[in-house]
Amino acid sequence: MRLVAENIACVRGGRPVFAGLSFSLGEKEALVVTGPNGAGKSSLLRLIAGLVRLTGGLLRLDGGGDATIGEQAHYLGHLDAVKTALTVRENLRFWTRYLGGKDETADALAAVGLDHLADLPASYLSAGQKRRLSIARLVAVPRPIWLLDEPTSALDAHAQVTLAQLMRAHLGGGGLIVAASHGPLGIDQARELELGRP
């Protein structure tokens, strides 16, 4: 499987965000997208996920079968999409059903250290715990492509180590990761794509 971008362009709100952007990413590879605020890092991830329209160039997934890129990707954005009226377990169960998973939440919650809070209403979670609950979706429903927008946001040092371990395991299993970040993610040999460079 290979994700290929050839001279892609993005326009948001009538303003060109980037153009002529090309990269290729294969199995077991990670691409860290860097650059100043407003350079288009989030827009690039949303474009790959199919949430923003491509305005130029070609984006394709070689060896991905008939499913779209978005159908084979997890997009972890700025907002954690946590339903505060539901418990931690119910939140994850909702997402596994929506994303086509097996509704087995215990292992995923344990992987992010939230198993002891499974029956707690999500409204009681801290920002970092909500982020970990969102990360649990990546574990609960396997998909080959992870699109991560500032994934360490609100995470403490221990949770950042856990996330790095999950990312390395995903890559080791043949997955691909495209992550926008202002800081290190703990992924060895990740390539870097800098946006907004003059």
Rounded Cα distance between 193 and 198, Å, is 14
| Positive or negative torsion for Cα 74, 77, 80, 81 | negative
Average pLDDT of the segment spanning 150-179: 96
In DSSP notation, the chain reads -EEEEEEEEEEETTEEEEEEEEEEEETT-EEEEE-STTSSHHHHHHHHHTSS---EEEEEEET-TTS-TGGGEEEE-SS----TTSBHHHHHHHHHHHHT-----HHHHHHTT-GGGTTSBGGG--HHHHHHHHHHHHHHS--SEEEEESTTTT--HHHHHHHHHHHHHHHHTT-EEEEE-SS----TT-EEEE-S--
All domains in the chain, ordered by first residue: 2-83+142-194 (3.40.50.300)
**Per-residue model confidence (pLDDT) at position 64:** 83
The radius of gyration of the chain's CA atoms, rounded to the nearest angstrom, is 17
Average pLDDT, the chain: 93
Tens of pLDDT, residues 140-155: 999 999 999 999 999 9
**Per-residue model confidence (pLDDT) at position 196:** 83
Query: Quick check: 165 and 191 in contact, CB under 8 A?
Result: no
Kindly indicate the confidence band of residue 7, based on its pLDDT and cuts at 50, 70 and 90. Answer: very high
Enter the tokens of residue 51.
């949430």
Average pLDDT of the segment spanning 45-71: 93
pLDDT value at 80 more than 90:
no
Enter the tokens of residue 100.
């086509």
How many whole angstroms from its chain centre is CA 10? 19
Query: Quick check: 2 and 63 in contact, CB under 8 A?
Result: yes
Rounded Cα distance between 66 and 148, Å, is 23
Query: Any bridge partners for residue 33, and if so which?
Result: 180, 193
pLDDT value at 76 more than 90:
yes
More confident residue, 154 or 188: 154
**Per-residue model confidence (pLDDT) at position 197:** 64
